[in-house]
Amino acid sequence: MSRTTRLRSRSAATEATRHVKKDESEKEELDTYGLVEEANGRPYQLIEGLPCSMEVPQYSSTLTHALSVKDSAVLYTSMLSSRRTWINSEMFDMLWSKQYLNAKEKERLVKEGIDPETIDASAAREKMHKLCDCYMVGGPHTFPIRLFILKNDDIERQWNEAQEQKKKDKEERKKRELEEKKKRQEERKQQQWMRKQEKQQQKESSTSKKTPNKEKSKKNSTSQASAEKPRSQTPQQKKPPPQSAEDQKMITNLNLMAQKDPDLNSLMVIVAGGRATAQQVEDFKKYIEKARKMPAPTGWKPISPAKAKTKNNDKKPSKNTVENQEELDARQTLEKAPVKVEDPSQLSRETTPGTTSTTSEQPRQKRKYTKRKKVDKPEPEDKSMQLTTFQQKYMHSADIVFEYAENPNKRFSLPKDAILEKLEDEESYLMSWIVVHNKKEIFKYEERVKKKHQKELAKKHAMTDPTNNSEIDENDPSEGSYDVFADPQSPVPLYTPMTVKFTNISKKFTPIIMNSVQSVETTQKLMSKIIERGTKLSGYNLWFQLDAYDDGELAESLRYDLREYEQGFKNKRLKKQL
């Protein structure tokens, strides 16, 4: 074998051994994160000071003088260690922590006139508004926590814009309702006035069909009645002269013009009410002259003076004197129509010519009142179940933050890529998500890829025309569609699935809680990518019993730490009593 072949074989062997050692070291680092300590030939490894093994412990075959679970102190210590891990919240992202100042910094702030205690009220903490107090159950632990809503400037701006738009819409709706109400009132007035005019025309036509004998008898009766009356009458009691055919034609044409022209109709109502100004009277005279010059409408016939007299006999003479004869003629034909009529049948209750009304003679009947039935009043809403104005803003896409009652110096944000499930009691929720332990490493890789891609694009645009639109790759890091978990060259995610339970949350906060996470479809896609490419961290089995002789030092150290921990509670109680 030549020297070159020997060197090649040696190099190949050394590279193979390097790869094997590298894989073994990576595997060991993946499982333990460098926290493993060998236990000098014992069947377990020490991870954070606790005996653990991948296999299930075999106490009977391994331990000669086995201590009890209480004397071994492994279970109690593991529960404390687990609770500290939860309170430090390695599975949640920390959003805020209290600022601690040393003595020099406090002195400097005092000299500047700043109270060191107010430094803690940072801008991040001021943006957190309390939601409620509840409990979180994680594994064997139950933690009293407090939930907060993180203030979002975009949501606040959208809410303010929506409220302003609602106010504008409300004002416009009120204006439209007022305009429609006025139109309805004018239409009602015009319809009532038209009905009266039609009834008058019907009465006039009915009287014209009567025989001449009846007319003569009516004339005789009216003449006898006038002879019996005293001759001395004041000028105000004289009846108005009968209208000529020309005046009747003018009035008919004026009515037809008012039906087509709403301005004329309103002007006639004002003149009839006696509220017209001098200018309005002049304008009304022009309409009268125009109506006089117009030809008679088709099918129209004038009323004879005898019929007009009988009609005037039934009506009471007006007390108002009008200087202008044309204004007098118009005022006789127009009447003010009431805006509101309680009973529509009152419009038809008019006495026919030659008859007298008997309503004044009959006694007025008492109105019958019916007692209103007692309506069951709706139960008043419980104000305690109403959301505040601030909470109503965050019914959708709220950022929820929480703090432990045992550690209020830190606040953590709940994951957005999670699946929430409401339980049957409607006050409890299950939240499930995936914790990626090497998330920082993955995000650093994502930043490097984006920067590298931006540099390449800058070079291409410098060499070519910037206006040239090239096709964009679906997995383009410069675009929002890039997903680092779908990139095969990114670091392998090391993940652990997590599930916690929130209890004692009021029902009124259900929409805020359920809408605080992304949609289920989006979360499931992300989880499937992580599970497909990632590696789930393996679990360990604790040795809850130790040997009295072989593991005596370890058991003694665990018991000593527990005594120190419990002694701290006793000291706190003594201080409170003092």
Residue-wise DSSP of 511-542: HHHHTTS--HHHHHHHHHHHHHH-EEPPP-EE
Please check whether residues 22 and 113 belong to one and the same domain: no
Establish if 478 belongs to a structural domain: no
pLDDT in the model for residue 511: 93
Which pLDDT belongs to residue 118?
A: 62
- Please report the pLDDT score of residue 148 as a whole number: 95
Structural domain contains residue 81 = yes
According to DSSP H, which parts of 381-420 are helical? 389-393
Q: How far apart are CA 284 and CA 405, in angstroms?
A: 85
CA distance 310 to 331: 19
- Does 567 have pLDDT greater than 90? no
Give residue-wise pLDDT tens across range 385-414: 888 889 999 998 899 999 999 988 889 999
Could you tell me if 249 and 190 lie in one domain?
Answer: yes
Looking at per-residue pLDDT, the higher value among 333 and 423 belongs to 423
Which H helix or E strand runs over 435?
Answer: strand 429-436
Q: Same structural domain for residues 166 and 291?
A: yes
Identify whether 173 is part of a domain: yes
Residue 207 to residues 202, 210, 309, 348, Cα–Cα distance (Å): 9, 6, 12, 18
Other CB atoms within 10 A of residue 324 CB: 13
Q: So what's the pLDDT on residue 317?
A: 44
φ and ψ at residue 431, rounded to 5 degrees: -120, 125
Tally of structural domains, the chain = 3
pLDDT digits (tens, 9 = 90+) for 168-215: 999 999 999 999 999 999 888 888 888 888 888 888 887 776 555 555
Q: Are residues 143 and 1 in the same domain?
A: no
Residue 263's pLDDT is what? 83
Is 11 a member of any domain? Answer: yes
pLDDT at 468: 53
Residue type, 18: R
In a domain, 14, yes or no: yes
Element (H, E) at 134: strand 128-138
Average pLDDT, integer, range 523-547: 91
Q: What percent of the chain has pLDDT over 90?
A: 29
Q: Which of 127, 101, 131 is nearest to 114 (CA)?
A: 101
Residues 43 and 112 grouped into a single domain: yes
In a shared domain, residues 527 and 418: yes
* Residue 420 CB contacts under 8 Å (≥ 6 apart), including other chains: 429, 430, 431, 513, 514, 516, 517
pLDDT digit string (tens) for 467-492?
555 544 444 554 556 788 888 888 99
**Residue 389 in contact with residue 144, Cβ under 8 Å?**
no
pLDDT digits (tens, 9 = 90+) for 124-175: 677 889 999 999 999 899 999 999 999 988 999 999 999 999 999 999 999 9
Which pLDDT score is estimated for 219?
A: 52
Distance in angstroms (rounded) separating the CA atoms of residues 479 and 60: 61
pLDDT at 19 over 50: no
Q: pLDDT (tens digit, 9 = 90+) per residue, 234-271?
A: 444 445 566 677 788 888 888 888 888 888 888 888 88
Cβ atoms 449, 477 nearer than 8 A: yes
The answer as to whether 471 is a domain residue is no
The sign of the CA dihedral 282, 288, 290, 292 is: negative
Distance CA 264, CA 254 (A): 9
Res 339: pLDDT: 37
Average pLDDT over residues 494-512: 93
Angle between helices 325-333 and 245-260 (to 10 degrees): 60
Among all chains, which residue has been given the structure tokens 């961290």? 537
Specify whether 406 is located in the same domain as 516: yes
Asked whether residue 300 falls in the same domain as residue 431, the answer is no
The count of other CB atoms within 10 Å of the CB of residue 305 is: 12
Q: In the numeric block, which tokens belong to residue 508?
A: 């009124």
Q: In this structure, are 175 and 266 located in the same domain?
A: yes
Tell me how far apart the alpha carbons of residues 217 and 252 are, in angstroms, rounded to a whole number. Answer: 30
Asked which of 397-406, 475-484, 509-518, 567-576 is least confident by mean pLDDT, the reply is 475-484
Which pair of tokens denotes residue 436? Answer: 């990626």
Which has more pLDDT, 103 or 159?
Answer: 159
Give the separation between CA 512 and CA 395, rounded to whole angstroms: 5
The structure tokens listed for 389 are: 């104005």
- Residue 51 CA to residue 77 CA, distance in Å, equals 11
426: left (phi over 0), alpha (psi -120 to 50) or beta: left
> What's the confidence (pLDDT) of residue 38?
67
| Single-letter residue type at 210 | K
Residues 129 and 194 reside in one and the same domain: no
Beta-carbon contacts of 390 under 8 Å, excluding residues fewer than 6 positions away, are 129, 149
In the DSSP assignment, the letter for residue 347 is G
Q: Is residue 479 part of a domain?
A: no
| Residue 330, domain extent | 159-204+240-315+323-340
How many CB atoms neighbour CB 88 within 10 A? 14
Residues 422/510, Cβ–Cβ less than 8 Å:
yes
Assess contact for 303 and 204: CB atoms under 8 A.
yes
Q: pLDDT of 280-336, one tens digit each?
A: 888 888 888 888 888 888 777 777 655 555 545 444 444 444 344 545 555 454 444
Q: Does 284 share its domain with 307?
A: yes
* Domain shared by 180 and 295, yes or no: yes
**Considering the domain boundaries, does residue 444 fall inside one?**
no
Residues 6+ apart with CB under 8 A from 155: 393, 394, 397
d(CA 213, CA 357) in angstroms, rounded, equals 25
Tell me what pLDDT residue 281 has: 84
Confidence bin at 23 (pLDDT 50/70/90): very low
pLDDT of residue 299: 74
Distance CA 305, CA 312 (A): 10
Q: What are phi and psi of 549, to 5 degrees?
A: -100, -50
Residue 391 CB neighbours (<10 A): 17
Q: How far is CA 169 from the centre of its chain?
A: 16
What is the pLDDT confidence band of residue 503, given thresholds at 50, 70 and 90?
A: very high
